[in-house]
Every structure is written in C-alpha cells, then in structure tokens.
C-alpha cells in the first residue's frame, strides 16, 4: 500500500513568520508530485506539479522543492499572511495515467 505522509499535521504561526512543511512519499516508480491549497468552504486549488528530481517551483511567496531519490518535497511560505491559512495537501502519482495518492494535509493557521 502506497502511503503519503505530511508533517506537521497542523501549524500555528504569526503573521510575517516563514514556515515550511514536508511531504514524504515512496520513491520507487515515482512519476509526479502535486501540491494543493484548500481553504475552508472553498475547493482545493492547485499550487504546483513537479516531476523531476531537484525541481523547484515558485508562486509569489510560496515555493516548493522535490527530491525524488529520497522521496520528499518541501513547501515553503515566506512571510505568512492570514490569507495563507488553509490546509495544504500533497499527492504523489506513480505512472503516467495513475491515480493521485493524497497525504492527510498540513493545516496552517496564520494569526494577525
């Protein structure tokens, strides 16, 4: 059974803090890694899709890195804002047309 683990489960930070969380996944037969942001009462929204070892993606204050050999990805948020409060989900895929296997998510709360 393929298992995707995210840590921490939840995180409480102050506005302006930078933060990061981890997504760990089985590296064997890996194909792609997705990150999504899910705000309360909204739909999950795609942040990044990465496929290559060493990939780095950036969108505003949010960036992500990928290590396919050791099976982990980091998501970084620089200068957290209250509007960054959401659950951040990662999901791994193991072949071209394969299903996404989601982690349980990291719930981020940013206090003003």
For the sheet containing 62-67, what is the strand order?
5-7, 19-24, 72-77, 62-67, 56-59
Least Å distance, CB 36 to other proteins, is 8
Q: How far is CA 86 from CA 43, 53, 66, 81, in A?
A: 11, 27, 21, 11
Token pair of 46 as six digits = 């795609």
Under the criterion CB under 8 A, does residue 60 sit at the interface with other proteins?
A: no
Q: Considering only residues 14-33, where is the footprint of other proteins by CB under 8 A? A: 31-32
Q: Which is nearer to other proteins, 18 or 95 (CB)?
A: 95
Does residue number 34 form part of the binding site for other proteins (CB under 8 A)? yes
In this structure, what token pair is assigned to residue 74?
A: 């980091």
Give the interface size with other proteins as a residue count (CB under 8 A).
26
CB of 73 to other proteins, least distance (A): 14
Contact between 22 and 73 (Cβ < 8 Å): yes
Q: Which residues bind other proteins (CB under 8 A)?
A: 4, 31-32, 34, 36, 42-46, 49, 51, 89, 91, 93, 95-105
């Amino acid at each position: 059974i393929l298992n995707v683990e995210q840590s921490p489960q939840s995180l409480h930070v102050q506005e302006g803090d930078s933060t990061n969380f981890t997504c760990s996944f089985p590296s064997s037969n890996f194909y792609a890694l997705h990150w999504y942001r899910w705000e309360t009462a909204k739909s999950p929204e795609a942040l990044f899709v990465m496929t290559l070892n060493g990939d780095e993606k950036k969108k505003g204050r949010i960036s992500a890195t990928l290590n396919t050999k050791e099976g982990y990805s980091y998501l970084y948020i620089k200068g957290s804002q209250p509007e960054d409060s959401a659950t951040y989900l990662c999901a791994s895929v193991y072949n071209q047309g394969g299903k996404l296997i989601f982690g349980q998510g990291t719930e981020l709360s940013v206090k003003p």
